[in-house]
Structure formats: structure tokens, C-alpha cells
Amino acid sequence: MGIRQGRVFSYDEALALFPAVRELTAASVRELAALGGDSAGDEAAEAGDAELEGPRRQVVERWTREIEALGCEVKGLWLVDWDAGDGYFCWRHPEPALAHYHGYEEGFAGRVPIA
């Protein structure tokens, strides 16, 4: 495994940042929905955001920049990870809480609840 370059978060640090991530994401979901098309990007989330074009793509690109500016990693449409040093705290809109973790190799499919 290579050396990781981003910020490493404790769970408390990730929790402190979570409300900002959730609000930025909710605002972008609403903006994407207002532009029409599928329901807030759900279909694009399944297919990958490559399906988005024009203003819809701009919304997602802006959201990605805003989330990354906070030190988090965007792993898919409305999917955010916080590097924990040994894996990731993981959240996907519209989950109500930051309540999952997965190792570096397991990815989203390997998520487990944070006890």
C-alpha cells in the first residue's frame, strides 16, 4: 500500500465535520433535483456521475470540490469518506448519521456499523 496523502480524522473530528458535509450534500441534491431529470441523481449514482452533463455535472463537480476542501474524500455521487488512518469512516446521502466504517481495501461493500 502506498503512502496516503490526506488528512487523518479521529471519529470525533469526523463527527464534528459531519453536519457541514451533510448540509453541503443536501443542498447539492436539492439543486440537482431542481434542474430536473432523474430523482436527485439516484440513477446517476447507480451508473456513476459520468452520466451527468452540463449544469447537472457542474453541481456535482462543485460539491466534490467543497467536500474535498474540508479534507474528506469523495468516493462516488453523494458518498463521502473520512480517512481514519487505518480505513475510512463512510457516509452516503441520505443516511442520518456518520455510522459506518470500512478498511482501505474493503470499500463501500465492506462497510460495518461503528459500534
> Residue 101: exposed, middle, or buried by beta-carbon count in 10 A (0-12, 13-18, 19+)?
buried
Band the pLDDT of 43: cuts 50, 70, 90.
very low
* pLDDT computed for residue 17 by the predictor: 97
Which runs of E-coded beta strand occur in 47-95?
73-76, 79-83, 88-92
Residue 38 has pLDDT above 90, yes or no: no
- Residue 74's DSSP bridge partners are 80
Residue 63 has pLDDT above 60, yes or no: yes
Other CB atoms within 10 A of residue 24 CB: 18
Residue 40 has pLDDT above 70, yes or no: no
Mean pLDDT of 26-47: 70
Distance CA 104, CA 2 (A): 11
Amino acid identity for residue 34 in this structure: A
Residue 4 has pLDDT above 70, yes or no: no
Largest CA distance in the chain: 42
Rounded to two decimals, the pTM is 0.84
Query: How does DSSP classify residue 38?
Result: S
